[in-house]
């Protein structure tokens, strides 16, 4: 089968793994998302005395020894450890017998927005604290580079198909999933592990976003700080973690008796070509990415039931994303359910698209939409149904997940209930 076949290959999700600020497994993450659990608290990783922001959504209780030996852990940045944990969970969840598949047709596309930020920071400290260049670790570069998680996953499971990383800021993981989808569709692979990982709750990570005035400074009430679409939002909350989705060609999945969570129906990838950090006026780039995903799936806008919004809790994003939804959906925008699960997890940057793809697929599979928590004060410019504070049960057939990144990168994934 090659990419020139007239029959479009269908792509389904058959395995998932996640470590998030509200759960260290997919089931725990999903239950807490539906329950509206807050994952934001005081930063414990470093002294925040000099920082404007003292809060973040850290991974609580994650133990890399459950997935890696000590030697491996010492040679991996936290972002790669999170990735390896998720890959392990996803493979187990998928029940793939790796001995029985063609590993030349199984690959990994897995991204990170920033990569090994803690490793960079620690090695700079070694250098500046009198160590000089001679004291830099030989593992510095392979621990820091953003593609190394994809490399580690493919090496561990001997997956010899397409293997690379995507980096597009907050759209990173959605681009990884979109690329994996396209490679399977055109016949280059049968199985792809895709997703993203981020571990940027570090002195430079928080300091850098503070310098941009992008983060919330509601330090007295961390649990209330992340409030997408709320009139009193004051910036995003940094989160960390990872997620892996196993994408598989439908016939391949059926042949091995795989359980199927849902189907990826279409993707939309665009650029704002406007500004390094601000969205294009009216969310024009987001408009095109949503339209493309819906067209790619062969659907009409009114067939979409739910949007897992990018919803960062920043002044500009939430307003422009709302405008974009109204432009794409017209009157149907007010019948749609929209929520931002970042209200609970914080913003996982390069991993956001992966953990949000999981929540979107599970929403469609289970006919339940997680809420936007901390929604208290309506913003007249954000006037859609954001599923305030409590999840909603409703039959869902089609949902989309939006991710938009600094640099004007937009990616929309469309998920459908699986029907053979």
Residues assigned a catalytic role: 170, 310, 347
Q: What pairs with residue 230 in β-bridges?
A: 378
- Distances in Å between the Cα of 45 and the Cα atoms of 48, 58, 113, 202, 402 are 9, 9, 20, 7, 30
Q: Give the CA distances from residue 158 to residues 101, 152, 154, 161, in Å, rounded to whole numbers and listed in that order.
A: 11, 10, 5, 9
Closest CA to 55 of 231, 320, 313, 396: 313
Q: How far out from the chain centre does Cα 260 lie?
A: 20
Give how far Cα 194 sits from Cα of 13, 59, 77, Å. Answer: 10, 21, 19
Q: Could you give the CA distance from residue 262 to residue 96 in angstroms, rounded to a whole number?
A: 17
Contact present, 270 and 283 (Cβ < 8 Å): no
- 389-404 as b/e, with b when 16 or more CB fall inside 10 Å? eebbeeebebbbbbbb
Q: What is the dihedral of CA 209, 229, 16, 187, to 10 degrees?
A: -90
Distance separating alpha carbons of residues 245 and 15, to the nearest angstrom: 6
Contact 133, 123 (CB under 8 A): no
How far does Cα 342 stand from its chain's mean position? 10
- Tokens for 378? 């309506």
Closest CA to 321 of 381, 373, 380: 381
CA distance 199 to 188: 31
């Amino acid at each position: 089968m090659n990419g020139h076949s007239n029959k479009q290959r269908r792509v389904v999700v058959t395995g998932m793994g996640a470590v998030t600020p509200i759960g260290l497994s997919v089931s725990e993450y999903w239950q807490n998302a539906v329950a509206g659990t807050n994952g934001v608290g005081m930063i414990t990783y470093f002294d925040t005395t000099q920082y404007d922001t003292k809060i973040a959504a850290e991974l609580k209780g994650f133990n890399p020894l459950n997935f890696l030996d000590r030697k491996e852990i010492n040679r991996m940045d936290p972002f790669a450890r999170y990735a390896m944990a998720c890959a392990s969970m996803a493979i187990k969840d998928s029940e793939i017998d790796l001995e029985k598949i063609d590993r030349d047709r199984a690959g990994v596309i897995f991204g990170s927005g920033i990569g090994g930020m803690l490793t960079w920071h620690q090695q700079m400290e070694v250098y500046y604290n009198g160590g000089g260049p001679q004291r830099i670790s030989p593992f510095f570069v392979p621990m820091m580079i953003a593609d190394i998680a994809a490399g580690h996953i493919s090496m561990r499971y001997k997956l010899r198909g397409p293997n690379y990383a995507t980096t597009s800021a907050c759209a990173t993981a959605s681009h990884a999933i979109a690329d994996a989808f396209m490679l399977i569709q055109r016949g280059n692979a049968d199985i792809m592990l895709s997703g993203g990982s981020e571990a940027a709750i570090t002195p430079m990570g928080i300091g850098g976003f503070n310098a941009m005035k992008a983060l919330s400074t509601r330090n007295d009430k961390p649990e209330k700080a992340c409030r997408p679409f709320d009139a009193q939002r004051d910036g995003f909350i940094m989160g960390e973690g990872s997620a892996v989705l196993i994408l598989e060609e439908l016939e391949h999945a059926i042949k091995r008796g795989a359980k199927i969570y849902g189907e990826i129906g279409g993707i939309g990838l665009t650029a704002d070509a406007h500004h390094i950090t601000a969205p294009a006026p009216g969310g024009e780039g987001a408009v095109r990415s949503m339209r493309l995903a819906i067209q790619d799936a062969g659907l009409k806008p009114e067939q979409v039931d739910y949007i897992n919004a990018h919803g960062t809790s920043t002044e500009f994003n939430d307003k422009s994303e709302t405008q974009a939804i109204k432009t794409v959906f017209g009157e149907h925008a007010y019948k749609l359910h929209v929520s931002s699960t970042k209200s609970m997890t914080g913003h996982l940057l390069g991993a956001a698209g992966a953990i949000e793809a999981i929540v979107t697929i599970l929403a469609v599979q289970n006919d339940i939409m997680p809420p936007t928590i901390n929604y208290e004060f309506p913003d007249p410019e954000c006037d859609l149904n954001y599923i305030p504070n409590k999840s909603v049960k409703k039959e869902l057939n089609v949902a989309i997940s939006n991710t938009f990144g600094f640099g004007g990168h937009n990616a929309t994934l469309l998920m459908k209930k699986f029907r053979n």
